Amino acid sequence: QVQLVESGGGLAKPGGSLRLSCAASGFSFSDYYMSWIRQAPGKGLEWVSYISASGNTIYYAGSVKGRFSISRDNAKNSMLLQLNSLRVEDTAVYFCARDKEPKRSFQTFDYWGQGTVVTVSS
């Protein structure tokens, strides 16, 4: 069955860095566009970044552009999110999510991981 498992969250200081990973299994990872979506404590969902199946096309939310970097390794069935210059407002649960349709951009998410918690505090 489809599984997405995030890791790498933790406590970081403002200005610090973290690297999040999403390990995928149960489907042909290289066929699917993927996203990171976050949820601040007690708040709604915020899309963060999107990467094409090949990794050649990438988009970021304005709030993270220039600070976060998404990438993927299709040979290892994994996706990464590098978080730099962290701010207190980046505190959230970070979910990785799969696009619903294979081999095309659909921007609707049918499988989600359970999330990894990022806390930014001094």
Partner 1 sequence: EIVLTQSPVTLSLSPGERATLSCRASQSVGSYLAWYQQKPGQAPRLLIYDSSNRATGIPARFSGSGSGTDFTLTINSLEPEDFAVYYCQQRSDWPPITFGQGTRLEIK
Q: Which residues bind partner 1 (CB under 8 A)?
A: 35, 44-47, 50, 59-62, 95, 100, 106-110, 112-115
CB within 8 Å of 21: residues ≥ 6 apart: 6, 7, 8, 78, 79, 80
CB atoms closer than 10 angstroms to residue 99: 23
Q: Which of 16, 112 has the CB closer to partner 1? A: 112
Instruction: For the CB of residue 63, give the shortest distance to partner 1 in the complex, in Å.
Output: 9
Q: CA-to-CA distance for 41 and 120, rounded, in angstroms?
A: 12
- Could you give the dihedral angle defined by the CA atoms of residues 79, 82, 83 and 84, in that order, rounded to the nearest 10 degrees? -170
Q: Which of 40, 82 has the CB closer to partner 1? A: 40
Q: Which of 29, 94 has the CB closer to partner 1? A: 94
Instruction: For the CB of residue 96, give the shortest distance to partner 1 in the complex, in Å.
Output: 10
Instruction: For the CB of residue 93, give the shortest distance to partner 1 in the complex, in Å.
Output: 9
